[in-house]
């Protein structure tokens, strides 16, 4: 394979770009990583670079803008953290680097990584996300940390409302999970953030999924942009150590099959850990309640939970206090949760890319893992789209129909109890409040929007009545 990683500033290919496979003999020292960082990596048990690290670290140290495309779990965080910390140690000042991520959980994880690797040089970082005390964050930002890690919404809020917070001297801008940041509805916030940054910065984009928006951004970068795509991305979007199966189930028995599947795994190995992905916050909450009531200790993670609850749920699962995490796609990207044995898709994602990110929570760092997707007769087209995207044909997992039949009535009864419980919590009301907040943050007047919708509905009803009278007159 030829080295096409160097991109001319005036040209960018429309497809992914690969560089040669990185030799197994490559070391952090040969990449130009400083001695103090080598010592810190050794303390953390990290002895050799992954391909994405070996490809990108030297180029970033040369001052080039960079895109790194690699599967989840291949070490993209260290690929940008090491060069940032190394150059920061030479000339430390704050705010030196800005790292943007799409989720609060990923921001916290990146902060932990930078803190653990940079502890020897006394690196100061601040994690800026929603769900936390804004005033406390402003005070922390006023102390001029070296690295700021944040989600776009809260960071843009600080830029607009904190007169003493400045990003004018930032050397590095990192977009982690860049495709989701650029295509996930953050346009307004990103515009606010980018306008506060200096033009002379280095821009680093890391993602598990390349996209046209990522290519467009790197094409506009001025520092001799470099792009590297993992060679394994060209063959399949999922790792070879992942066992991918489907469990065929009628919709009314889906929860019973899920319960039986998790109970079987628990009986075979009490240390077995699983993540169950659901489509909506409401379904996630219901499934979490259901599993808890049938004796499966569960952590629940979704965007409608308070930040303290989200942090607690993730900590309980990571520490092994609970063996099942029920989550929306907020947990599907970037989170490094070791030793997840099983990923269950309670629903089949409509976008194959979302499936890849979900199942990437297991079979990490060369370990094995299993993904089981619960398939109803209505999901056949979605399954075929995912199989075509990944190049992997799923095998059927035989469910124990007799055991499922025994627990079906009990499981469905418990689910109804969960729905009643949510109703008593005014779940729908809280959801509407959150929707209004999001609209206001995006500059939309929810009251005016509702008024216009009512006006449009009245107009439509009037038109339908008029047409009905015409049709009646012709009979």
> Are the CB atoms for 288 and 326 separated by under 8 Å?
yes
How far is it between the farthest Cα atoms of the chain? Answer: 90
Domains detected in the chain: 35-234 (3.40.50.300), 242-428 (3.40.50.300)
What local confidence, expressed as pLDDT, does residue 467 receive?
A: 62
Mean pLDDT of 400-426: 91
pLDDT at 20: 44
pLDDT more than 90, % of the chain: 66
CB atoms within 10 A of CB 159: 18
Phi, psi for 97 (deg, rounded to 5): -140, 145
Predicted confidence (pLDDT) at residue 469 exceeds the cutoff of 60 = no
pLDDT tens across 1-15, in order? 333 344 433 334 333
pLDDT of residue 423: 83
Residue 468 pLDDT > 60, yes or no?
Answer: no
Q: In this model, does residue 429 exceed pLDDT 70?
A: no
Give bridge partners of residue 301 from the DSSP assignment: 327
pLDDT tens-place string over residues 168-223: 999 999 999 999 899 878 889 999 999 999 999 999 999 988 888 888 888 889 99
Tokens of 4: 């096409």
Task: Please give the Cα distance from 187 to 251 (Å, whole number).
Answer: 37
Q: State pLDDT tens for residues 253-306.
A: 999 999 999 999 999 998 999 999 999 999 999 999 999 999 999 999 998 888
Give residue-wise pLDDT tens across range 308-367: 999 899 999 999 999 999 999 989 887 777 789 999 999 999 999 899 889 988 987 678
Average pLDDT, the chain: 87
Three-class SS state of 408: helix
Q: How far apart are the C-alpha atoms of 433 and 97, rounded to whole Å?
A: 34
φ/ψ of 353, rounded to 5, equals -60, -40
> What average pLDDT does this structure show over 385-412?
93
Q: Answer yes or no: is pLDDT of 396 > 90.
A: yes
Does residue 19 register a pLDDT over 70? Answer: no
Interval 78-86 mean pLDDT: 97
DSSP string, 32-60: T--HHHHHHHHHTT--S--HHHHHHHHHH
Per-residue confidence (pLDDT) for residue 185, from 0 to 100: 82
* Pick from 109, 86, 84, 112: nearest CA to 98: 84
- pLDDT at res. 86: 97
Q: Quickly state the pLDDT bin for 475 (edges 50, 70, 90).
A: very low
Q: What is the pLDDT of residue 98?
A: 98
Q: Which of 353, 392, 399, 356 is nearest to 374 (CA)?
A: 399
Predicted local distance difference test score (pLDDT) of residue 17: 42
- Of 59, 457, 418, the residue nearest 259 (C-alpha): 418
Give the confidence band of 236 by pLDDT, cuts at 50, 70, 90. low
Confidence band for 442, pLDDT divided at 50, 70 and 90: low
Selected residue with higher pLDDT from 63 and 1: 63
CA distance 100 to 172: 11
pLDDT of 412 above 90: yes
**Does this model's pTM top 0.75?**
yes
State yes or no: pLDDT of 231 exceeds 90.
Answer: no
């Amino acid at each position: 394979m030829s080295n096409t990683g160097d991109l001319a500033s005036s040209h960018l290919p429309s497809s992914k770009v690969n560089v040669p496979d990185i030799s197994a003999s490559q070391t952090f020292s040969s990449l130009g990583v400083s001695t103090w960082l080598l010592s810190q990596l050794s303390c953390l048990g990290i002895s050799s670079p992954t391909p994405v690290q070996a490809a990108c670290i030297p180029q970033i140290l040369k001052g080039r803008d960079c895109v790194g495309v690699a599967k989840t779990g291949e070490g993209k965080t260290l690929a940008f953290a090491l060069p940032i910390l190394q150059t920061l140690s030479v000339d430390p000042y704050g705010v030196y680097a800005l790292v943007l991520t799409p989720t609060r959980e990923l921001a916290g994880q990146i902060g932990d990584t930078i803190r653990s690797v940079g502890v020897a040089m006394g690196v100061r970082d601040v994690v800026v996300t929603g769900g936390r005390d804004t005033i406390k964050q402003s005070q922390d930002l006023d102390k001029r940390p070296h690295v700021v890690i944040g989600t776009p919404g809260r960071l843009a809020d600080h830029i607009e409302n904190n007169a003493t917070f400045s990003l004018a001297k930032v050397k590095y801008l990192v977009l982690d999970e860049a495709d989701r940041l650029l295509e996930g509805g953050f346009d307004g916030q990103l515009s606010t953030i980018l306008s506060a940054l200096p033009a002379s910065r280095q821009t680093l984009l890391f993602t598990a999924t390349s996209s046209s928006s990522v290519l467009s951004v790197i094409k506009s970068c001025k520092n001799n942009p470099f792009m590297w795509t993992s060679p394994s991305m060209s063959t399949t979007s999922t790792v070879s150590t992942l066992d991918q199966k489907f469990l065929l189930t009628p919709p009314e028995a889906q929860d019973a099959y899920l319960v039986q599947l998790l109970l079987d795994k628990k009986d075979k190995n009490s240390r077995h850990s699983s993540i169950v992905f659901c489509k909506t916050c409401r379904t996630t909450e219901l499934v979490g309640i259901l599993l808890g009531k049938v004796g499966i200790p569960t952590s629940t993670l979704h965007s409608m939970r308070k930040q303290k609850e989200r942090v607690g749920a993730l900590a309980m699962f990571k520490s092994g206090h609970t063996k099942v995490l029920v989550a929306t796609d907020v947990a599907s990207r970037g989170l490094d949760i070791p030793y997840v044995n099983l990923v269950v898709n309670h629903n089949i994602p409509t976008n194959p890319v979302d499936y890849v990110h979900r199942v990437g929570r297991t079979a990490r760092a060369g370990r094995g893992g299993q993904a089981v997707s619960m398939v109803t007769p209505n999901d056949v087209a979605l399954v075929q789209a995912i199989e075509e995207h990944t190049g992997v044909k799923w095998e059927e997992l035989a469910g124990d129909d007799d055991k499922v039949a025994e627990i079906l009535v009990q499981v469905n009864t418990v689910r109804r109890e969960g729905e009643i419980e949510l109703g008593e919590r005014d779940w729908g009301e809280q959801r509407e409040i959150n929707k209004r907040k999001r609209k206001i943050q995006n500059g939309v007047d929810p009251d005016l929007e509702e008024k216009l919708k009512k006006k449009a509905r009245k107009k439509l009803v009037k038109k339908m009545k008029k047409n009905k009278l015409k049709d009646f007159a012709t009979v």
